[in-house]
Amino acid sequence: MVEKNATEQTVLKNTEHLNVVWLKRDLRLSDHEPLANALKSGKTLLYYAFEPELIADAHYDERHWRFVLQSIEDINQQLLAFNAKVYVYFGDAIKGLIEINESFTINHLFSHQEIGLLNTFNRDKLVKKWCEQKQIVWQETPSGGVIRGKRNRDNWDENWQKIMSAKLVQPTLTSESLLTLKSIQMLKTTPFPESWSIPNQLMLTGGEGWAKKILFSFLSDRGKDYHFNISKPLQSRKSCSRISPYLAWGNISLRQLYQQILLKRSQKGWQKPINALASRLHWHCHFIQKFESEHQMQCRPVNNAYSQLTYPEVHCMLTIEVRLERWKTAQTGYPLVDACMLCLIKTGYLNFRMRAMLVSFLCHHLLVDWRLGAAYLASLFLDFEPGIHYPQFQMQSGVTGTNVIRVYNPVKQSTDKDPDAEFICQWLPQLAELPKEIVHSPWLLSPMEQQFYQFELGKDYPHPMIDIEITGKIARDLLWGFRKRADSKSEGRRIVAKHVRTASSAKKKKNR
């Protein structure tokens, strides 16, 4: 550790407060209540920890840390005007706080509440204990419209609307209120992997500035066909907002986004797309609230009766390990499934319908337990948000006992959502010379046709690894049968009571 000179020590000792703003999934400077509160009460340091436990976690990939690093670099560009920057620590978050506290004196720690994985929840408990030991006040601010400790959905919608319509909390940044670059340089630093700083041109770039650009392009023209193209794998890449990674990592707050899009709703041609997007922002918090209220769903079905669900062994099917690996590596033999997986691997983005189809194919057609694929897909989603990922994964795999069971037919999805096979051929160019109607199901080609098109099934593209008619029926019979069980129904009633707005609450809202 670099030794502090006497003058710097004196200045810091005379400072009334050293506040630390712990950045996690809120990588921005605008509409940031913890930062605004910190700046009001003393000298402030912004802090981010690249935690080894998270970096090694199967839910995360280098793409996430590159996005985070880009977001921090964006913040630092804004802080240059105030002779400050984010202190980045490579190590356990609590060790970084100890480093800061040994060099200076932390009086207050500010952060947003994190609705994260179990490892971040356990880490936060350790930080809380450490703060109490050091007599450091840790002030946590709610994230979005999520209410910590909420046991039911009474008044939840009203609270969400109140938060989303509230005035943005804009921090007042000054050179006097931020810890100087010279002071920050005295803290321990560790170089990050060089690959993190190499841009990936196929993925979105992190940062508050890019969040604004992406939103501006959506509201300028891209979004007019949002509601028409949301389910199409190719067209959705342009028509959807593409703002989800910026929400997941906090480059823009949900409130900022909600208020910005509502300004567009009254303009001609924008009511339907804006209403559709606004509805999804409400669902965004709904799912995160479910995860906050029942975080055990990271490890087990939210409907505990489904913990007993097991998929049958089907004669002549490949082993579970092989089925899972071929799903991960886009070798299933079903073009739309494989194209979606390749697209996700390369770009980090896929529209909602195709994500649901990937989960459905894994669980309903490959008959693989959802828990074996959840972390892998999370590592591919640039917009991985734990509170959305796990409730959605369980819903699409059919283990909630409350949602409609959807067993997607990948061939029907292909012909419906990518009728000209443009998306498929983009990611599976080996199929591009086949007639478009055959691309969706190349296994129908006769040996003579394969010879004519100079295409060999099993060499140029895999044979289908399963028969979806057979496995789909197995999954439907299993899931619908399980849903009729008394314990499944009982758990379903518990879930509805906890996570769905009650009739009395809805009636109360209507009468207002």
Residue 328 belongs to a domain with what CATH number? Answer: 1.10.579.10
- Return mean pLDDT, the chain: 93
Residue 333 CB contacts under 8 Å (≥ 6 apart), including other chains: 443, 461, 462, 463, 464, 465
The answer, yes or no, to whether residue 73 has pLDDT greater than 70, is yes
* 1 located within any domain: no
Number of Cα atoms under 13 Å in the Cβ half of residue 109: 28
SS3 125: helix
| CATH number for 55 | 3.40.50.620
DSSP state of 207: S
pLDDT, average across residues 193-205: 96
Q: Are 143 and 115 in contact (CB under 8 A)?
A: yes
How far apart CA 13 and CA 9 sit, in angstroms, is 6
Task: Tell me, yes or no, whether 223 and 266 share the same domain.
Answer: yes
Banded model confidence at residue 512, pLDDT cuts 50, 70, 90: very low
DSSP state of 291: H
The answer, yes or no, to whether residue 248 has pLDDT greater than 50, is yes
User: Which amino acid is residue 200, in one-letter code?
Assistant: N
Task: Tell me, yes or no, whether 118 and 80 share the same domain.
Answer: yes
* Confidence (pTM): 0.94
Q: Is 133 exposed, middle or buried (CB count within 10 Å of its CB: 0-12, 13-18, 19+)?
A: exposed
Task: Kindly report each contact of residues 272-277 with a partner whose C-beta sits within 8 Å and lies 24 or more positions away, as own/partner.
Answer: 272/227, 273/223, 273/224, 273/225, 273/226, 273/227, 274/223, 276/226, 276/227, 276/230, 277/223, 277/226, 277/241
Banded model confidence at residue 433, pLDDT cuts 50, 70, 90: very high
Task: Tell me, yes or no, whether 476 and 381 share the same domain.
Answer: yes
How far apart CA 67 and CA 74 sit, in angstroms, is 11
How far apart CA 192 and CA 90 sit, in angstroms, is 8
Q: Is 261 exposed, middle or buried (CB count within 10 Å of its CB: 0-12, 13-18, 19+)?
A: buried
Task: Tell me, yes or no, whether 217 and 320 share the same domain.
Answer: no
Task: Tell me, yes or no, whether 118 and 178 share the same domain.
Answer: yes
Task: Tell me, yes or no, whether 84 and 149 share the same domain.
Answer: yes
Q: How far is CA 58 from the centre of its chain?
A: 14
Task: Tell me, yes or no, whether 388 and 435 share the same domain.
Answer: yes
| CATH number for 243 | 1.25.40.80
pLDDT, average across residues 472-478: 95
Phi/psi of residue 45, nearest 5 degrees: -120, 130
* 67 located within any domain: yes
* 510 located within any domain: no
Task: Tell me, yes or no, whether 163 and 266 share the same domain.
Answer: no
Residues in the chain, total: 512
Banded model confidence at residue 502, pLDDT cuts 50, 70, 90: low
How much is the pLDDT for 9?
44
The answer, yes or no, to whether residue 219 has pLDDT greater than 80, is yes
For the segment 6-38, what is each residue's pLDDT rounded down to a tens digit?
444 444 443 447 999 999 999 999 999 999 999
pLDDT, average across residues 285-299: 95
Q: What Å distances lie between residue 343 and 209, 287, 396, 450, CA to CA?
A: 25, 25, 20, 26
**Can you tell me which residue has the tokens 């940062």?**
207
* 334 located within any domain: yes
Q: Are 324 and 434 in contact (CB under 8 A)?
A: no
How far apart CA 443 and CA 457 sit, in angstroms, is 7
Task: Tell me, yes or no, whether 172 and 213 share the same domain.
Answer: no
The number of folded domains in the chain is 3
Listed residues 246, 269, 293: the one ending a domain: 293
Task: Tell me, yes or no, whether 340 and 485 share the same domain.
Answer: yes
The answer, yes or no, to whether residue 477 has pLDDT greater than 60, is yes
SS3 138: strand
The answer, yes or no, to whether residue 506 has pLDDT greater than 80, is no
Task: Tell me, yes or no, whether 362 and 434 share the same domain.
Answer: yes
Angle, helices 93-103 vs 118-134, to 10°: value is 20
* 508 located within any domain: no
The answer, yes or no, to whether residue 482 has pLDDT greater than 50, is yes
Question: Which segment of 3-12, 474-483, 497-506 scores lowest on mean pLDDT?
Answer: 3-12
Looking at 221-334, list the stretches that DSSP marks H as alpha helix, in order from N- to C-terminal side. Answer: 226-229, 236-239, 244-248, 254-262, 271-293, 320-328
Residue 262 CB contacts under 8 Å (≥ 6 apart), including other chains: 274, 278
* 503 located within any domain: no
Question: Which segment of 206-215, 230-239, 304-313, 356-365 scores lowest on mean pLDDT?
Answer: 304-313
How much is the pLDDT for 273?
96
* 200 located within any domain: no
For the segment 113-161, what is each residue's pLDDT rounded down to a tens digit?
999 999 999 999 999 999 999 999 999 999 999 999 988 999 999 999 9
pLDDT, average across residues 430-445: 96
Q: Of 124, 164, 113, whose CA–CA distance to 387 is shortest?
A: 113
How much is the pLDDT for 64?
98
Residue range(s) defining the domain that contains residue 181: 6-195
Listed residues 262, 293, 324: the one ending a domain: 293
Listed residues 137, 167, 195: the one ending a domain: 195
* 309 located within any domain: yes
Task: Tell me, yes or no, whether 29 and 115 share the same domain.
Answer: yes
How much is the pLDDT for 314?
84
pLDDT, average across residues 313-339: 94
